Amino acid sequence: MTRALADGGEDSPVNWSIIETVAAIKRRQVSAREVLDAYIGQIELHNSKLNAIVTRLDDRARQQATAIDEATVRGIDAGPLAGVTFTVKDLIATRDVRATAGSLILRDFVSPWGATAIDRLGDAGAVLIGKTNCPEFGLAIHTGNRLFGDTLNPVDSTLSPGGSSGGDAAAVGAHMASFGVGTDYGGSIRLPAHCTGLASIRPTPGVIPGTGQLPFLPSASPVPPNSASMQARLQTIAPIGRSIYDLWGLVEVMAGPDGIDTNAVPVRLGSPARRSVAGLGVAWCDGDGSYPVRADLVEAVESAADALSELGARVVNRRPPGMDQAESVYAELRSLDGLPDHIRLWKGREEELTDYVRGWLDSARPEGTLGEFQRLTAFADAIRLQVNNFMNEWPILLMPVASVPAFAPRSDDFEVEGRILHGVQIESCCRVVTLLRAPTAVVPCGQSKEGLPVGVQVIGRPFCDARVIEVATELADRFAPDGREVTR
């Protein structure tokens, strides 16, 4: 469902960008309550079919929207995101709202505190409209679980929106919210953006504090992420939206250490500008080198590279050295890391878990030694050094998001260029970027041979997030889904 095809017509608030929405509310051209009601109307139209939002917060949202309108009438600034609706992945704790992680084990869990990033959005005036579905504990490429069932893709309801932030992708893609907040470890925000024709940002890990990402044992006060775990070191809270133009402001609101997450970093990222890409070094490749990518998806990456070349960028078709080893190191580290925090949470209730979570348990290697972990992390550091040295000359890298476009729910085996890929192997291009701790944006840059959206990863050096957004914006100008620039 593109912007032009959304219900309510072009003048409906559900078709406005975040910038347009905030401006209209502050000028009192529309009330926050009217904006909210338009989005609730979209939920009524589409959610029963797509199953994106699993916990609705209509009454709470109406109270917040009313307070924003009252403040606006009195001339009080209600925040930089005043009246903008959003959803949150059910893997993230939200104050006094159910957070299930898509698991029967947490079906009734309500946290008395919320993730720092989500609290900051609320303080900025954003209106939380609902919690969205995810695979159990975010451990699958399709969004579905025993608690809520399957979520479907708004582009084609016979397909999956991907995972694990597929509920947010489906909600935003169907114009049930302005933006969504999910998480990204091995590709959980990037794969859904690719599958649904949306834009996403995975910021450099540490830019947004990870406080509030499940799993953690229930506590009356915020629980710091386990800094020894790969999840805490590599996973990040991340936004998804209909346009890349909308997303940087969300990162700025959520960013900054909170005194709880010891992995969060106090860094000034700068703001993206409309700088020319003329002379900028851009490399592109057909994947990470470990698993094949369908030829039509590679063509989208090449088209993105050609577009930047036409704007004056120095473009080369070259894979960074060492990248072809990153997938295997990532997989070994995740296996060696295991799921210790998960296991503590569900101990004694394993029969309530889905089969794919049990599969993760079976693949874990809790017998691994500290020496083995140190060997692998040293290998990962060496790969990062090789890639970072390459990116000193070629600071932007374009890659596919996945080996295939959107797929049928619960698919697990994929034939790609004569080879069978299993499960998460289709997102190896995402997993290697995670290992690099690099900032990444996904921008729709064409269609597959079936007419499905195809996203391209725009990757930068760690903490060069603003430059990534600048390049992603140039691509959005060229490849906007409706054939014209999206209003900024």
The CA distance from 434 to 440, in Å, is: 9
What's the mean pLDDT when you consider all of the chain?
94
- pLDDT-derived band at 484 (thresholds 50, 70, 90) equals very low
Mean pLDDT of 215-225: 94
The answer, yes or no, to whether residue 6 has pLDDT greater than 80, is no
- pLDDT-derived band at 5 (thresholds 50, 70, 90) equals very low
- pLDDT-derived band at 370 (thresholds 50, 70, 90) equals confident
Please report the domains of the chain, with CATH numbers, ordered by start residue. 3-479 (3.90.1300.10)
Q: Give the pLDDT confidence score for residue 359 in this predicted structure.
A: 85
For 399-414, b/e burial (b = at least 16 CB within 10 A) is bbbbbbbbbebeeeeb
- pLDDT-derived band at 1 (thresholds 50, 70, 90) equals very low
What single letter denotes the amino acid at residue 417?
A: E
The CA distance from 207 to 223, in Å, is: 18
Mean pLDDT of 72-86: 98
- pLDDT-derived band at 8 (thresholds 50, 70, 90) equals low
**Under 8 Å CB-to-CB from 484, ≥6 apart: which residues?**
none
Residue 334, class by beta-carbon neighbours within 10 Å (0-12 exposed, 13-18 middle, 19+ buried)?
buried
Mean pLDDT of 2-30: 82
Q: At 219, list the tokens.
A: 């506590």
Residue scoring higher pLDDT (253 or 370): 253
Q: SS3 sequence, 187-239? A: CCCHHHHHHHCCEEEECCCCCCCCCCECCCCCCCCCCCCCCCCHHHHHCEEEE
* Widest Cα–Cα separation across the chain: 65
Q: Give the pLDDT confidence score for residue 121 in this predicted structure.
A: 98
The answer, yes or no, to whether residue 465 has pLDDT greater than 80, is yes
> Angle at Cα 46 formed by Cα 43 and Cα 48, nearest 5°?
95
The rounded Cα 31 to chain-centroid distance in angstroms is 29
The CA distance from 70 to 55, in Å, is: 27
Q: Give the pLDDT confidence score for residue 481 in this predicted structure.
A: 53
**Under 8 Å CB-to-CB from 259, ≥6 apart: which residues?**
none
- pLDDT-derived band at 7 (thresholds 50, 70, 90) equals low
